[in-house]
Structure 1
Amino acid sequence: MTLENKFGLTNSADLAREEEFVSKKRAVELFENSVLDSLPAGKFSTLQAIHKYLFEDIYDFAGELRTVNIAKGNFRFAPLLYLQAALESIDKMPQASFDEIIEKYVEMNIAHPFREGNGRSTRIWLDHILKNEIGKVIDWSKVDKEDYLLAMERSPIKDVEIKVLLKCALTDETDSREIYMKGIDHSYYYEGYTTFKTEEL
């Protein structure tokens, strides 16, 4: 099933290519216009702003909470019934250390608040927190795709693996556009445009 989009595309491969191009272009603008500098680190409102900025030219639902329950494989993300409460709890989570920040990142991944583009938006959100709190960001080109996916899949039960993986990729090049864009470049590769199982309300 191809998501309804502003381009009127009905082929998922065509939509994936267009989405990658447009979201990367918007990600560059997000960085160059210093949009994140004025947003609070670690808040869902900031993640919403990031998602809207990246996808508003593609989807009407950019920046809006999903209206379907979604699952990937055998894992169900936060049910709609509890999504708002989960996001409020995540907002209150501490973020003073690397471990606390990754724990917050894991919880936001479990929430998966948007219909599409959660990974890309949340990785920018994560780097924004890391930069503000500990003066570091992640060089995503140093994070192996398969290791990352497996670690994230296991993170709701045990987050040690994802902590070790991401800690090894930390860099202090927080103002480097090249480092920032590596996260965006890898997003398409990571997410693979997997079709989530959905349950329309």
Structure 2
Amino acid sequence: MTNSVPGKRERLIDAAVRVFYERGVEKTTIADIARVADVPVGNVYYYFKTKDQLIEAAIGAHARGLDQLTAELNRLEDPRERLRELVSGWVAERELAARFGCPFGSLTAELHKRDDPLEGRASEVMQRLVDWSRTQFEELGRADAQRLAIALISSYQGISMLTNAFRDPELMVAEGERLREWIDSL
């Protein structure tokens, strides 16, 4: 029988993802992450020597989450339906977006303010989402698939920011409906 309780390393990564999202990278301390993970702060250094290693682990967790999401979406036969379901997933997270913005977009934007290699790692994950979206538009026979993928992702990022700025989850609902109609029109 396997133990279903995550180990300390996994709890630390999950806590880092959550705390970076809710507080931002710069405001988060290793002690904050240890507290949320219910791990003694001294034990953190056994798994992660620096805060940057925790940031990199959080980026990896986002990448794995995106891979899992796109694998689930790829089970749908129709690329249009995959895109619609992607948008529906964003809308389902509207309450969190109202409080904190886009989980990964916020992290990416914050890391781009720093001058270090982690900003590139975050961009790679965002690029994977754009690439996946482009593939869906290509399967719809669109020669302008890259442009459409950028439009879709930038629309989501923009509405996430506005939903957060105005603390209004209904903005995400309205934009989600507009995006689904747009996808259907292609």
TM-score, normalised via structure 1 length: 0.31
Determine which structure has the larger strand proportion and give its number. 1
Which structure: larger Rg? 2
TM-score, normalised via structure 2 length: 0.33
